Structure 1
Amino acid sequence: MLVYRITKAIYADRLVASGGAARWNSRGQFVLYTAATRALACLENVVHRSGEGLQDTFRVMVIAIPDTVLITELLPETLPADWFDFGQYDACQRIGGEWLMSGRSAVLRVPSAIIANEWNYLLNPAHPEFSRITLQRTEPFLFDPRIKS
Structure 2
Amino acid sequence: MVTQLFRISPEMYLTNVDGKGGSYQYGARWNPAGYPILYLACSASTAMLEMAHYIPHPQLVPDSYRLGVFELPNDLIDVFDKSLLPINWADYPHNEATQLIGKEWLEACSNVALRLPSSAVPNGFDDIVIINPNHPKIGDLKFIEKTKLAYNERMFSGMNS
Alignment correspondent of 1:49: 55
Give the superposition deviation at 1:7.
Answer: 0.9
Give the superposition deviation at 1:10.
Answer: 2.1
Alignment correspondent of 1:28: 34
Offset from partner CA, 1:17-51 (integer Å, 9 cap, x none) = 21231110111111110001100000101113344
Q: How many residues align?
A: 147
- Aligned CA-pair RMSD: 1.9
Alignment correspondent of 2:148: 140
Gaps of 5+ in 1: none
Alignment correspondent of 2:6: 4
- Which residue type is aligned with residue 6 of structure 1? I
Instruction: Give the alignment's TM-score, normalised by structure 2.
Output: 0.82
Offset from partner CA, 1:73-123 (integer Å, 9 cap, x none) = 223211111111125421111110110011111110001112131100111
Shift of the 49–97 alpha-carbon distance from structure 1 to 2, 3 Å rule, reads farther
Structure 1 distance, partners of 2:56, 2:103, is 25
Gaps of 5+ in 2: none
Structure 2 distance, partners of 1:33, 1:117, is 17
Percent identity of equivalent pairs: 26
Question: Among 120, 128, 131, which residue is 1:123 paired with?
Answer: 131
Shift of the 91–49 alpha-carbon distance from structure 1 to 2, 3 Å rule, reads farther
- Which residue type is aligned with residue 139 of structure 2? S
Shift of the 128–47 alpha-carbon distance from structure 1 to 2, 3 Å rule, reads same
Structure 2 distance, partners of 1:6, 1:88, is 21
For the pair shown, which has the larger CA radius of gyration, 1 or 2?
Answer: 2
Give the superposition deviation at 1:144.
Answer: 4.6
Matched position secondary structure for 1:120: strand
Runs of 4+ residues over 6 Å off in structure 1:
none
Matched position secondary structure for 2:73: coil
Instruction: Give the alignment's TM-score, normalised by structure 1.
Output: 0.88
